[in-house]
Amino acid sequence: MKEVRCERCDNIIGMGCACPPDDSVPKAHPEKRCVQQEWRRFPNNAILIKQNGKAHVPGACDHMTEDEVRPPKLGWILDPSPGDWVRISESSPATATEGNAQLRATSRCMTCMGTLGG
């Protein structure tokens, strides 16, 4: 069976994705907030960008590891300006400055948003 990832939270549907099918706000994942791994190469304010346009923050979600952060699948911004994370949207994409610098984030990981408070 092929794993299908949710476009909103990037978790595998049926294995971690708790997003409702009706596009309403996803359920919180309080149990995941405690599961934070230690990141060594990326500061905790970096913005990681996947090929699907989803932005993540190191250690803010448990479905991405530091070992996965390599070009060409990912790009990143090591020192984003204040407010860059909250501005990420279709109309205000964040463009990677390192790794795969062609990637642009147009949405934010829902788990990261929950962990970071928005």
- pLDDT by residue (tens digit) across 48-63? 999 999 999 998 988 8
Query: What pLDDT is stored for residue 73 in this prediction?
Result: 92
**For residue 91, what pLDDT is reported?**
97
Tell me how long the chain is.
Answer: 118
Q: Over the range 17-31, which residues count as b (16 or more CB within 10 Å of their CB) and which as e?
A: bebeeeeeebeebee
Q: What confidence score (pLDDT) does residue 2 get?
A: 63
Distance of CA 47 to the CA centre of its chain: 8
Q: What is the pLDDT of residue 117?
A: 77
Does residue 9 surpass a pLDDT of 50? yes
User: For the chain, which residues make up each domain, given as ranges?
Assistant: 30-116
pTM: 0.70
What pLDDT, in 10s, does the model give residues 61-107? 888 888 889 999 999 999 999 899 999 999 999 999 999 999 999 99
In degrees and rounded to multiples of 5, residue 64 shows phi and psi of -145, 130
- Decide if 61 contacts 69 (C-beta within 8 A): no
- Residue 5 pairs in a beta bridge with 12
**Which pair of tokens denotes residue 29?**
């994942």
On the question of pLDDT at 33 being above 60, the answer is no
